[in-house]
Amino acid sequence: MKSLKRIAVDMDGVLADTDSHFIAWYYNIYGIKVPYEELLGKPEGEGFPEKGAARKFAFTPGFFRTLPVMPGAIEAITELMKDYEIYIVSAAMEFPQSLPEKHEWLQQHFPFISWRNIVFCGDKSLINADYMIDDHPKNLDNFKGTTIMFHAAHNANITHHQRANTWNEVMALLKSDN
């Protein structure tokens, strides 16, 4: 029996729409609607008028639990699971409450993913897979397999990784690679 290729899939910014969530939280707390375009090309969380606001949100209980699902993510992961081993790989150690919240979020939105296929870590360089889909170049730069950088405001100007703007584009890239 042929073994399946492995895909490591990031959570925040790939399965979960952190950009729109930061914008919504900023509006709800500060009453200012920051246009998405204001975030493009800036380090994550630095496009908001109130310095440190996004980091403060990430430390607030409920932030990770209430992230919206990225459009097309559930359908794409469901389809990919037919032909690949899928592992959700998320850096969950920096923000203490994120670990249980991310687990609960996955149970709600991706209940078909086994606990055996969820990896919460601090450093993704230890991950061994054939593909990694992530929004942070720092996680992709040292990855030994094929990288797909999922579009996010903070990586808009990064060009040294194969890019996907949507889950449909991820699916097309993976299909063309086989």
Does residue 9 sit in the same domain as residue 94? yes
Does residue 41 sit in the same domain as residue 113? no
**pTM (two decimals):** 0.95
Query: Which pLDDT does position 47 carry in this prediction?
Result: 93
pLDDT along the chain (178 residues), means of 10: 88 97 98 97 94 96 97 98 97 89 98 97 93 97 96 97 98 88
Distance between CA atoms of 123 and 89, rounded to whole angstroms?
Answer: 10
Distance between CA atoms of 81 and 138, rounded to whole angstroms?
Answer: 26
Q: Do residues 105 and 88 lie in contact, with contact meaning Cβ atoms separated by under 8 Å?
A: no
Query: Which pLDDT does position 2 carry in this prediction?
Result: 67
Query: Which pLDDT does position 14 carry in this prediction?
Result: 98
Does residue 145 sit in the same domain as residue 126? yes
Domain count, the chain: 2
Does residue 12 sit in the same domain as residue 27? no
Q: What is the CB neighbour count within 10 angstroms for residue 162?
A: 12
Q: Which CATH number goes with the domain that contains 13?
A: 3.40.50.1000
Does residue 72 sit in the same domain as residue 147? yes
Does residue 25 sit in the same domain as residue 82? no
Does residue 145 sit in the same domain as residue 164? yes
Tokens of 102: 């991310």
Does residue 40 sit in the same domain as residue 114? no
Range(s) of the domain holding residue 53: 18-58
Does residue 81 sit in the same domain as residue 26? no
DSSP string, 107-166: HHH-TTS-GGGEEEES-GGG---SEEEES-HHHHTT-SSEEEEEP-GGGTT--SS-EESS
Tokens of 31: 């009453």
Instruction: With both helix axes pointing from N to C terminus, report the angle between 167-177 and 73-80 in degrees, rounded to the nearest 10.
Output: 20
H or E stretch covering 91: strand 84-91
Q: Using only the alpha carbons of the chain, give its radius of gyration.
A: 16
Does residue 54 sit in the same domain as residue 10? no
Does residue 29 sit in the same domain as residue 81? no
177 is catalytic: no
Q: Check 10, 17, 19, 134 and give the catalytic one.
A: 10
Does residue 137 sit in the same domain as residue 81? yes
pLDDT in tens, 67-102: 999 999 999 999 999 999 999 999 988 888 899 999
pLDDT in tens, 44-60: 989 999 999 999 999 99
130 is catalytic: no
Q: Check 12, 17, 134, 135 and give the catalytic one.
A: 12
